[in-house]
Structure 1
Amino acid sequence: MPRAERERQMIDVAEQVFAERGYLAASMDEIAERVGVSKPMLYEYFNSKEGLLLACIRQARSELRLATEDAVADVADAEEALRRGLHAFFVFIDRRRQSWLLLRHEMTLIGTPAADEIEATRRQQTDLIGKLMTGYFGADSPEQVEASAEFVVGACERLAIWCERHEHVTPETATDYAMDLLWGGLRRRVLH
C-alpha cells in the first residue's frame, strides 16, 4: 500500500478510536491492531500517540475548510453565503461525527499541542467568515468583523453540541435555526 494511503488509513482508524474512547483511554496497541499494522509502524509514521492525534485534527481541519470554502465559492449574496457556509458546517458535523467529537473534546487536551490545533481550527473558520464578511458588509472596523466572526463560530459550536442531544435535528434544520438568529443581526450591515 502506498505510504499516503496507509497514513490516511491509520488516521481514519485512530480518529475512530479517539472518538470512541477519548484520547487518554485510547491505546496505540488497539489502533495498530484495527489498522492491521505493527505498533512500531504507527510510531514510525507519527512518532507518538500525540503526533497521531495531531494528524487527525489537522486532517479534520483541512476537510472542514475545504467543505466550507467550496460551499461559499462564487456566491454573490451575503445571506446565501452565510446559509451555505452554515449548512456545510452542519453537514460536516453530521457526516463526520468522529471528526467533530475529536475536535470538541478539547478539555482533556488543555495545555497540549492538540489544544492548540483545535484552536487553530476555530481560528481558520473565524478567518474564513471574517474574510467573507469584509466582502459583503459595509465599513465595519476589522475588530467588529473579527468579533462578529467569533460570535458565529461560537454560536455554531454550541448549536452543534445541542444537535448531538437532539439526533433528529438535520443539518438543514440546524442551518435554519442558526440563520434565524444570526442573519437578523447581520443583514442590516450588508452593502447594497
Structure 2
Amino acid sequence: MRRVSTARPPRLPRAEREAQILDVAHALFAARGFGAVTMDEVAAEVGVTKPLLYTYFGNKERLFLACVARGGTKLQAAVTEAFTTAPDPGESLRSGMRAFLEFLDADRAAWQVLYDPTVPVGGEIELEMDRHREQLAALAAAAVQGVLPGHSAAEADAMAHALLGAAEGLGRWWLRNTEALTASEVADLLITTVEPGIARRART
C-alpha cells in the first residue's frame, strides 16, 4: 500500500480537485468494492492528505454516495434518451433495454459502483442505489404501459421491475463472460426472451 502523502498538495480549484478525487475513488470502488477501499488509499492515490479528503467529502460513505450519484446520472441520461426518443412504445422498450446493457460496456466502472454488493444493508447508500433503480423502473413502466394500454399501472410497474431485474442479472453474467458475447448480443438475448411474453399479455 502506498503511504499517505504528507506533502502539501498543489493548489487546484475546488471543482477540479473534487473531480480528481471522484475519478480516483470511482476507479478504486469499482475495482475492489465499497467494503475493501479505505480513505487512506484514496488520499494516497490522489496524492493529498487525508484531512483534505475529509474536508471535501466528510467520510467514506459520502464519497461513495458522490460516486453513485455520478454514475447514476450518466446511466439515467443514457436510458432516458433511449426510452423517450423511440418512435413507439414497443421500440421504446427495446431501446431502453439495449441502452441499459450497452451502458455497462461503455462505463463498467459506473455499473460496478451502482451495483456494488459490498455496501451496508439498509443504510443511506443502499437507499440511494434503490432510488436510481426506481427511476429506471419508472421509465420502463411507462413504456410497458404504452405496449399494454388496457392493463393497470400496477401490472406495468411489476413487469418493469421484472425486466430491470433480468437486465441486472444479465449484466452481472456478462461481466464474468465478456469473451462469450458482446453487450449488444446480450441485449438482443434479453429482448428476444421477453418480447413474446409481453406480446401474449397484450392480447389478453
Fold-level match, TM-score > 0.5?
yes
Stretch of structure 1 that moved more, 53-62 or 92-101: 92-101
Which of 28, 35, 45 aligns to 2:39? It is 28
1:107 Cα shift? Answer: 4.6
CA apart distance, 1:37: 2.5
Identity %, equivalent residues = 36
Aligned residues: 191
Which residue pairs with 1:184 in the alignment? 196
In structure 2, what is the equivalent of residue 98 of structure 1? 109
Which of 57, 61, 75 is the aligned partner of 1:64?
Answer: 75
**TM-score, normalised via structure 2 length:** 0.85
User: Could you tell me the TM-score, scaled by structure 1's length?
Assistant: 0.90
- 1:170 matched to 2:148? The reply is no
Question: Which amino acid is 1:13 matched to?
Answer: V
Contact 2:90 2:143 in 1 (8 A): no
Choose 1 or 2 for highest CA Rg: 2
Q: Which has the higher helix share?
A: 1
Distance in 2 (CA, whole Å) between partners of 1:121 and 1:157 is 13
Contact 1:78 1:190 in 2 (8 A): no
Unaligned 5+ segments in structure 2 are 1-11
CA distance in 2 between counterparts of 1:152 and 1:108 reads 23
Match of 1:156 in 2: 167
State the one-letter code of the partner of 1:57.
V
Contact 1:17 1:26 in 2 (8 A): yes
RMSD between aligned residues: 1.9
- In structure 1, what is the Cα distance between the partners aligned to 2:84 and 2:139? 11
What stretches of structure 1 of length at least 5 have no aligned partner? none
